[in-house]
Amino acid sequence: MSNEDEFYDAVTGLDSDESYEGVSEASFKDAQPFDCSSHRNNGSVPHKNGIKKHRTALPAPMFSRNTVSVWSILKKCIGLELSKITMPIAFNEPLSFLQRMTEYMEHTYLINRACSLSDSIERMQAVAAFAVSAVASQWDRTGKPFNPLLGETYELVREEQGFRLISEQVSHHPPVSAFHAEGLAGDFVFHGSIYPKLKFWGKSVEAEPKGTITLEIIKHKEAYTWSNPYCCVHNIILGKLWIEQYGTVEIVNHRTGDKCVLNFKPCGMFGKELHKVEGYIQDKNKKKHCVIYGKWTECMWSVDPQAYETHKKTDKKGDHKKHKNVREELHRSENDEADNMPEVQETVSVVPGSTLLWRIDSRPAHSSRMYNFTTFAMSLNELEPGMEAILAPTDCRFRPDIRAMENGNIDEASKEKERLEEKQRSARKERAKNDEEWSTRWFHLSTNPHSGNQDWIYNGDYFNRNYKDLPDIY
Task: Report the alpha-carbon distance of residue 290 to residue 281 in Å, rounded.
Answer: 6
For residue 28, give the 3-state DSSP assignment: helix
Q: What pLDDT score does 342 carry?
A: 54
Task: Report the alpha-carbon distance of residue 446 to residue 221 in Å, rounded.
Answer: 21
**Total tally of structural domains belonging to the chain:** 1
Domain that holds residue 94: 70-245+361-464
Task: Report the alpha-carbon distance of residue 109 to residue 119 in Å, rounded.
Answer: 17
Q: What pLDDT score does 267 carry?
A: 80
Residue 294 lies in a domain: no
What confidence tier does 27 reach under pLDDT thresholds 50, 70, 90? very low
Residue 333 lies in a domain: no
For residue 280, give the 3-state DSSP assignment: strand
Q: Within 10 A of 79 (CB to CB), how many other CB atoms are there?
A: 4
For residue 169, give the 3-state DSSP assignment: strand
Average pLDDT of the chain to the nearest whole number: 82
Q: Which residues contact residue 438 at a Cβ distance below 8 angstroms, ignoring those fewer than 6 apart? A: 150, 151, 431
Q: What pLDDT score does 139 carry?
A: 81
Question: Which candidate, 99, 98, 106, 102, places its Cα nearest to that of 44?
Answer: 106
What confidence tier does 21 reach under pLDDT thresholds 50, 70, 90? very low
Residue 296 lies in a domain: no
> What does pTM read for this prediction?
0.83
The span from the first CA to the last CA of the chain, in angstroms, equals 18
Task: Report the alpha-carbon distance of residue 194 to residue 135 in Å, rounded.
Answer: 13
Residue 404 lies in a domain: yes
What confidence tier does 205 reach under pLDDT thresholds 50, 70, 90? confident
Q: Half-sphere exposure of 448 toward its Cβ, with a 13 Å CA cutoff?
A: 23
Task: Give me the mean pLDDT over the 197-220 stretch.
Answer: 83
Residue 283 lies in a domain: no
Lowest mean per-residue pLDDT among 50-64, 207-221, 235-249, 455-469: 235-249
Task: Report the alpha-carbon distance of residue 359 to residue 300 in Å, rounded.
Answer: 7
Task: Report the alpha-carbon distance of residue 145 to residue 298 in Å, rounded.
Answer: 23
For residue 72, give the 3-state DSSP assignment: helix
